[in-house]
Amino acid sequence: MRKKISGLLALLLAMSLVPVTVGARTEDEAHTHTLCVDENCTDNHEVKTWTAWESSSKLPNEAGYYYLTNDIITENGVNVVDGVYICLNGHIIQSVGAGSVALTATPACDNCGLTDCTDTVHKFSEREDGLWVLNENSGNITVMGAAIIGSMLIASDIMFEMYNINVVGDDGGGVFLYSRGNVLLEKCGISGNNGSHALNAISSVELHDCLISANRCDSAVRVSSEFKIGGATTICGNVNADGKNSNLELREGRTVTIAEPLSEGSYIGVSVEAVPTIGNPISVTGANGEDYSEYFHSDNEDYKIVNGENNVVQLTEVNPKTYPYTINSLKLVSASGEEYDEIPTDTGFIVDMDVTKVADRNGQDYFIVAAYGENGALVSLNYIKADLPTGTSFSCGVNIPKTDELIETVKAFVWDGLGTATPLAKGVEF
């Protein structure tokens, strides 16, 4: 077992202010340990003697193994270069410059990494927007071990490794991966960040025994590439600005690879781009040697996790909802009636919505067409109010004029009212 308290325990202790006396080594002590700080290391890491690094404003630019003797606080962040491995030794690395990145592993960083060998306590307070702010004197949130306060950009070409490090308190996200090499995060915590994503995995990454929680983001983890996990991996307790669960978002049909067996304590909330149905479930993982479905949970209450053929973890519909209306089709056409295959960018268009009332319901309802731009911003909203006889179908055309804003999505809804917005049909998107 490692001396370091795991990220999961760190979160469980977060509000309790448990007294801990173990801290950073003094300069009089020999600083020796493996990169992963694991007494039972199975990765063939050698015990290294780490050299003291005393700067409080930059990291070394010559290859070697170093440990910090001071916090590093800068305006513009620091860079990790090729062959440099840093033990934070319980300290923090923080960027205080507006919009700056706290730490960057540059593309020229072929092999480099970060670790921490302590149980040093850092205290934070939570802002109204969910951001954790360093408050060593009176903070009520406890983080165990070294912390990078602000965002990280990992763009190394071959290998970047990070062990026992917390990434906390960035108001623009957290960890951004844009690497052509391998990125390994082990026993790391990513918490108290807000913005788009706490971990934006555009490139491949592998997580072991990591905790990603208490972030307020559009999605805490956004996966657009290979995503591997193992051990006690936890991605839960993250919400978006509306307070809805927003944990692991799998983009473009991506799935999770279980590289090593998941263990007790794993809990992964998940969502996908496509719409799962009972007849067409969406895969969350690839094939597995055993059933791991108990560790996965749907972020959307309309869907549930099931174990499919070859132990593929899947999302499917809970119970198909029945609505009084069915939206049969949603088409985009020109003024002359020509149908578009994609949303036109250089002209206005007409949205043709075909609806059938399939169940009894009294009163006028709202048939709505909405156009959305970048990042889901509402560009236009049009509606028709009608009270249809049961069994009646009708079509309506809504004109969307050309605007300066690029329209990325068109959606159709049937609601009981604009104020209540209770769905009366399953929405359709173009």
Please report the DSSP string for 97-154 in residue order: STT--SEEE-TT-SEEEEE-----EEEEEE-TTS-EEE-TTT-SEEEES-EEES-EEE
Nearest to 85 by CA among 104, 108, 59: 59
| Full pLDDT tens readout for the chain, 430 residues | 333 334 443 443 343 333 333 344 555 578 999 999 987 777 778 999 999 999 999 999 999 999 999 999 999 899 999 999 999 999 999 998 776 789 998 777 778 999 999 999 999 999 998 999 999 999 999 999 999 998 898 887 778 999 999 999 988 778 888 767 789 999 999 999 998 899 998 889 999 999 999 999 999 999 988 999 999 999 999 999 889 999 999 988 999 999 999 999 999 999 998 888 888 999 999 999 999 999 999 999 889 999 999 999 999 988 777 899 999 999 999 988 899 999 998 898 999 999 999 999 888 999 999 999 887 888 889 999 989 899 999 888 899 898 888 899 999 999 998 888 889 998 998 9
User: CATH for 325-429, among 3.90.1150.10, 2.60.40.10, 3.40.50.1010, 2.40.30.10?
Assistant: 2.60.40.10
Domain segments of the chain: what residues? 7-317, 325-429
Nearest to 193 by CA among 239, 225, 158: 239
Backbone angles phi, psi at 19, to 5 degrees: -70, 130
What pLDDT, on a 0 to 100 scale, did the predictor assign at position 13? 39
Amino acid of residue 349: F
CB 126 within 8 A of CB 141: yes
Q: Is the pTM of this model over 0.75?
A: no
Joined together, the tokens standing for residue 282 give 């969406």
What pLDDT, on a 0 to 100 scale, did the predictor assign at position 172? 74
For 174-184, letters b (16+ CB in 10 Å) and e give bbbbebebbbb
SS (H, E, C) 329-392: EEEEECCCCCECCCCCCCCCEEEEEEEEECCCCCCCEEEEEEEECHHHCEEEEEEEEECCCCCC
For 139-150, letters b (16+ CB in 10 Å) and e give bebbbbbbbbbb
Q: What is the enclosing helix (H) or strand (E) of 409?
A: strand 409-415
Measured CA to CA, the distance from residue 350 to residue 353 in angstroms comes to: 10
What pLDDT, on a 0 to 100 scale, did the predictor assign at position 7? 42
What pLDDT, on a 0 to 100 scale, did the predictor assign at position 306? 96
Instruction: Name the one residue in this structure whose structure tokens are 């990790």.
Output: 80
What pLDDT, on a 0 to 100 scale, did the predictor assign at position 28? 55
Q: What is the DSSP letter of 180?
A: S
SS3 241: coil
